[in-house]
Amino acid sequence: MYQYDQIDQRLVDERVAQFRDQTRRFLAGQLAEDDFRSLRLRNGLYIQRHAPMLRISVPYGLLSTRQLRMLARIARDFDKGYGHFTTRQNIQFNWPTLESVPDILELLASVQMHAIQTSGNCVRNVTADHLAGVAPDELEDPRPWCEYVRQWATLHPEFSYLPRKFKIAITGSLQDRAASKVHDIGLHLVRNAQGEVGFEVLVGGGLGRTPMIGHVIREFLPKQDLLSYLEAILRVYNLEGRRDNIHKARIKILVKAVGPEKFREMVEAEWLASRDTAPQYDPAEFARIKAFFTPPAYESLRDEDLLSGRPTEFRNWYQRNTKRHKVEGYRAVFVSLKSPSRPPGDITHAELDRVAELADQYSFGLVRSTHDQNLLFADVRQRDLFEVWKALKEIDLAPANIGTLTDMICCPGLDFCALANATSIPIAKQINERFDDLDYLYDLGDIELKMSGCMNACGHHHVGHIGILGVDKGGEEWYQITIGGSASGPDAALGQVIGPSVPHREVAETIDRILDVYVSEREEGERFIDTVRRIGIKPFKARVYAPAHQAA
Amino acid sequence: MRQLIKQREIVIDDWRYADEDPTGRERALILPFARWKEERERWWLWDGRLGVRLGPTDPVSALEHDFLRVGLVAIEFSGMAEGRGYSQAQMLRKRYKFTGELRAVGKIQRDQLFYLARCGFDAFELPEGADLQVALTAFNDFSVAYQPAIDVGVAPLRRAS
């Protein structure tokens, strides 16, 4: 994992001092509320329903156990004892006081962490595939490039006051596990006909009120041109993106307005004019960064039969919550934050500490956060899996539901968020209560359920196989349901609304009816999403909204 | 007398905006971009120093052939959210090699100065009433930076070349 040198450390320390002074000036009445707002947002500090919410950056989802323990300490000392992992691999705390934030940032800086650019109209945390570096299908580890881009984007003088927030995701495998097609920029490491590795560049994806899948504007960008090309895209956006309407300010709106082809021409023209004066690729500097991501000292092991004689519960967990590793004898292990007893993505201070212990013992002292709000031990010896399972089970982090209906993405919703129209955590609970039969969940197979409490779509509902969107109807909570969306792989798509929204109490019932249609229509081995693609939404619409035709 | 920060010092402004010159006696004038474009020939021959004031949507490329005559460019900021000026400045300095005074004007505040300076601004006309002494400290907020940038009066350590 990347380690700060003196320059990195000094920058983060100076940022803490700067924010401490800004907070002091605000509290002393020397800085107007509006001016402070723009400054605190650049440090991930929102004012929410109950208290300030502090979002802490977890660059491309990678955490050391030292950092995890610090997050546990912050949860304990400054929050009500827990944190919430987000869809952009960050963690947020819902209960710190404004006055304590400079102290929290100082503690974070002591473990090489910060909250820089976790909100505000600037380049946000650069995210990556959570299986980066261990996935068998990967062309190249994207994380050195994430770090390279992270440094470039940090306090970038020209691009810190963009029309709107800006999100970049980088992946190194075709099976896109970072939802890169719904990012402002998605970068895919690809190989060209000459055998060189470079980037496919997508622009203009995004969710929110106007969901869009990104467009490829360059099929192959040589690696050494990455920063100059990013600067060209950002400059076109900074100058041409709309600033008159916050809801039309994302780059996707600009790309749509001028058309992807014209946008590509604008970027290429800007790149031609600026590439010589843009930051130049420095091979030595990149090599310095890359050296931090060399694989850990794997033992030479064989794949083992782990299942014989083990309890069914372990076998289920193995099947659902562990993934193939590129190194023989190892598995990647999901730490599921989706137990029915917790709001999706939440974790307590004691659990954070215990996860850190387990990672030290079993996974080279590193933990990853995933974009679907779980944690991951990337490098666990197969022979340790049974012990790891038992340990995780003790603290309720081993529900064997990864990839199933109850491994849902869920925003904090109206319970915490000042933007939300409806609650989402109680809906998650309702769904968990209804679908508590694991055998049924396994029979349903891979289903991505994603839920947002408002159209800002933090819960990515548009790209859920099943999406749930909370809406406010005359002060009541209603939920609109979409099916057929997908964030991953070559065929990312937006879901379609199946019909009128349903009241709070009927959400799980409606999901149940949708699944009944799937079960009766599916072909042998067909996933939910594939059935939807094959038969379209009509059969679902007909049977979900016509009680007489309900499946028994 | 208007004061501003220039090259990290507080100085008296020796420029006037065109609408601040009722008598026609001033010899250092800043024209709105539209007026400069319309009356370019006439002003080219005028015997004073000339500056041009750009709004966020005025294209800096339109000044490409004017820098022999135009010694100052003022770029307007309507508020903290207005970020186009950072790109305009960067292009003026890097692409068009503009070496004259580059002034940020409008609703700018202390906490933006570091970014503005790194984009090539060397003069800062803060709103009336702003404490310029306090604003000067902003240049010392960071002693390091990741990006190569145009540092006029700000030269932090950096790693990338």
Query: A106 and A5 in one domain?
Result: yes
Tokens of A39: 């400054």
- Kindly state whether residues A176 and A50 are assigned to the same domain: no
Closest CA in chain B for residue A42: B111
Chain B residues touching A224 at Cβ < 8 A: none
Asked if A376 and A460 sit in the same domain, the reply is no
**Distance of CA A205 to CAs A103, A254, A297, A462, Å?**
36, 11, 38, 12
CB A233 within 8 A of CB A153: no
Q: Look at residue A320 and tell me if it is in a domain.
A: no
Q: Which of A220, A250, A282 is the last residue of a domain?
A: A282
Measure the CA–CA gap between A381 and A289, rounded to whole angstroms.
Answer: 27
**What is the rounded distance in angstroms from the CA atom of residue A376 to the CA atom of residue A355?**
10
Asked if A215 and A252 touch (Cβ cutoff 8 Å), the reply is: no
Which chain B positions have a beta carbon within 8 Å of A284's beta carbon?
A: none
Residue B19's CATH number: 3.20.20.70
Q: A212 forms bridges with which residues in the sheet?
A: A206
Tokens 């406010």: give the residue: A472
CB contact, 8 Å: B104 with chain A?
no
- Whether A14 and chain B come into contact, CB under 8 Å, resolves to yes
Cβ distance A236 to A266 under 8 Å? yes
- Determine whether the interchain pair B118/A39 forms a contact, defined as Cβ–Cβ distance below 8 Å: no
For residue A356, what are the domain limits? 1-119+330-399
Q: Rounded distance, CA A528 to CA A522, Å?
A: 8
Which DSSP state fits A295?
P
CATH number of A41's domain: 3.90.480.20
Nearest residue on chain B to A280, alpha-carbon basis: B161
Residues A227, A256: one domain? yes
> Half-sphere exposure of residue A92, counting CA atoms within 13 Å on the CB side?
24
Domain contains A246: yes
pLDDT at B157: 61
Whether B86 sits inside 8 A of A39 (CB atoms) is: no
Please indicate, yes or no, if residue A428 is contained in any of the structural domains.
Answer: yes
- On whether both A98 and A140 belong to a single domain, the answer is no
Bridge partners, residue A452, by sequence:
A469
What is the phi/psi pair of residue A545, to 5°? -100, 0
| Alpha carbon of B68: minimum distance to chain A alpha carbons (Å) | 21
What count of other Cβ atoms lies within 10 Å of the Cβ of residue A276?
Answer: 10
Residues of chain B contacting residue A11, judged by C-beta atoms under 8 Å apart: 142, 144-146
Task: Name, in order, each residue with C-beta under 8 angstroms of A415's C-beta and a sequence gap of 6 or more.
Answer: A49, A423, A424, A425, A426
- Measured distance CA(B100)–CA(B85) in Å, rounded: 16
pTM for the structure as a whole: 0.95
**What pLDDT does residue A517 have?**
97
What's the rounded Cα separation, in Å, for the pair B139 and A184?
31
- Alpha-carbon distance of A326 to A284, in angstroms, equals 28
Q: Residue B82's closest chain A neighbor by CA?
A: A161
Q: Domain ends where: A224, A251, A282?
A: A282
* B153 contacts in chain A (CB < 8 Å): none
For A115, B83, B125, the CA distances from B110, given in Å and listed in that order, are: 21, 15, 11
Instruction: Tell me whether A272 touches chain B (CB under 8 Å).
Output: no
**Are the CB atoms for A179 and A163 separated by under 8 Å?**
no
CATH code, A139:
3.30.413.10
A423 CA to centre of own chain: 20
User: Which residue range(s) make up the domain with B129?
Assistant: 3-158
Q: Which two tokens stand for residue A187?
A: 């970068």
Residue to test with chain A: of B61, B90, B121, B131, most A Cβ within 10 A? B90
**Candidate from A18, A151, A274 with C-beta closest to B95:** A274
Closest CA to B121 of B150, B146, B145, B148: B150
Q: Nearest Cα to A146, choosing from A110, A206, A189?
A: A189
Please say whether the dihedral angle defined by the alpha carbons of residues A132, A134, A135 and A138, taken in this order, is positive or negative: positive
Same domain, A159 and A255: yes
Minimum-distance CB partner of B87 among A154, A238, A285: A238
Enclosing H/E stretch for A513: helix A507-521
* A469 phi and psi angles, rounded to 5 deg: -120, 125
- The C-alpha of A103 sits at a distance from chain B's nearest C-alpha, in angstroms, of 18
E strands, A328-419, in order: 330-335, 346-348, 366-369, 375-381, 409-410
Q: Quote the pLDDT of residue A548.
A: 46
Distance of residue A45 Cα from the nearest chain B Cα, in angstroms = 17
With a CB-CB cutoff of 8 Å, which residues 4-43 of chain B face chain A? none
Say yes or no: B82 contacts chain A, CB-CB below 8 A.
yes
Residues of A in contact with B143 (CB under 8 A): 10, 14
Contact B149 A238 (CB under 8 A): no
Strand duo B101-106 + B123-125: pairing: parallel
Within an 8 Å CB–CB cutoff, is residue A155 touching chain B? yes
Cβ contacts of A311 within 8 Å, gap of 6 or more: none
Residue A116: C-alpha distances to residues A63, A382, A542 (Å) = 16, 37, 48
Sign of CA dihedral A134, A136, A137, A139: positive
Question: What is the number of other CB atoms lying within 10 angstroms of the CB of residue A364?
Answer: 18
Q: How far is CA A86 from CA A59, A92, A297, in A?
A: 12, 7, 30
> Are B81 and A38 a contacting pair at CB < 8 A?
yes
Kindly give, in sequence order, each residue whose CB lies less than 8 Å from that of residue A278, ignoring residues fewer than 6 positions away. Answer: A227, A228, A231, A232
Among residues A171, A269, A173, A184, the alpha carbon closest in space to that of A229 is found at A269
User: In terms of DSSP bridges, do strands A330-335 and A322-324 run parallel, antiparallel, or are they unpaired?
Assistant: antiparallel
Q: What's the gap between Cα B91 and its chain centre?
A: 13
Residues A140, A277, single domain; the answer is yes
Question: Strand B157-158 and strand B144-145: pairing?
Answer: parallel
Ranges of residues in chain B with a pLDDT under 50 are 152-154, 161
What was the ipTM of the complex prediction? 0.95
* Longest CA span, chain A: 69
CB atoms within 10 A of CB A395: 17
A to B CB pairs, distance under 8 Å: 105
Determine the pLDDT at residue A34.
87
- Same domain, residue pair A536 and A427: yes
- Sequence-separated (6 or more) residues with CB below 8 Å from residue A530: none
B161 contacts on A by Cβ (under 8 Å) = 279-280, 282, 285
Chain A contact for B132 (CB, 8 A cutoff): no
Are A139 and A274 part of one and the same domain?
Answer: yes
Q: CB distance B111–A35 less than 8 Å? A: yes
SS3 A42: coil
Q: Say if residue A278 is in the same domain as residue A139.
A: yes
Pairwise CA distance, residues A429 & A437, whole Å: 14
> CB–CB of B161 and A280 under 8 A?
yes
Asked whether residue A440 falls in the same domain as residue A508, the answer is yes
SS3 content of chain B, % helix, strand, coil (to 5): 30, 25, 45
pLDDT per position in chain A (552 positions), as tens? 999 999 999 999 999 999 999 999 999 998 888 889 989 998 999 987 777 899 999 999 999 999 999 999 999 999 999 999 999 999 999 999 999 999 999 999 999 999 999 999 999 999 999 999 999 999 999 999 999 999 999 999 999 999 999 999 999 998 899 999 999 999 999 999 999 999 999 999 999 999 999 999 999 999 999 999 999 999 999 999 999 999 999 999 999 999 999 999 999 999 999 999 999 899 999 999 999 999 999 999 999 899 999 999 999 999 999 999 999 999 999 999 999 999 999 999 999 999 999 999 999 999 999 999 999 999 999 999 999 999 999 999 999 999 999 999 999 999 888 889 999 999 999 999 999 999 999 999 999 999 999 999 999 999 999 999 999 999 999 999 999 999 987 789 999 999 999 999 999 999 999 999 999 999 999 999 999 999 999 999 999 987 644 444
Residue A488: count of CB within 10 angstroms of its CB: 20
* Cβ–Cβ contact A224 with B under 8 A: no
Nearest-Å Rg of the Cα atoms of chain A is: 23
CB proximity B3 to A under 8 Å? no
Q: Which residues contact A72 (CB under 8 A, 6 or more apart)?
A: A349, A350, A352, A353, A356
Question: d(Cα A520, Cα A452) in Å, to the nearest integer?
Answer: 28
Within-domain flag for A179: yes
Question: How far does A312 lie from chain B, in Å, by closest CA?
Answer: 52
Q: Kindly determine whether residue B115 and residue A22, on different chains, have CB atoms separated by under 8 Å.
A: no
Q: Considering its fold, how many domains does chain A have in total?
A: 3
Residue A325 inside a domain? The answer is no
Count the domains in chain B. 1
The token duo for B114 is 């570091």
In single-letter form, the type of residue at position A292 comes to F
**Which of A23, A147, A155 should we substitute to test contact with B (largest number of B Cβ atoms within 10 Å)?**
A155
Residue A126 maps to a domain: no
Identify the residue among A4, A7, A39 best suited for mutation to test binding to B, counting B beta carbons within 10 A and taking the highest: A7
Q: Which residues of chain A does B154 touch, with a Cβ-Cβ cutoff of 8 Å?
A: none
Give a yes or no: residue A446 inside a domain: yes
Of B119, B141, B146, the CB nearest to A154: B146
Element (H, E) at A429: helix A425-434
Q: Exposure of A361 by Cβ count < 10 A (0-12 exposed, 13-18 middle, 19+ buried)?
A: middle
Q: E-assigned strands of A460-505? A: 466-473, 476-483, 496-497, 502-503
Instruction: Count how many Cα atoms sit within 13 Å of the Cα of residue A170 in the half-sphere of its side chain.
Output: 26
In Å, how far are A6, B17, B50, B97, B103 from B57, measured between CA atoms?
Answer: 40, 19, 21, 20, 16
Same structural domain for residues A208 and A269? Answer: yes
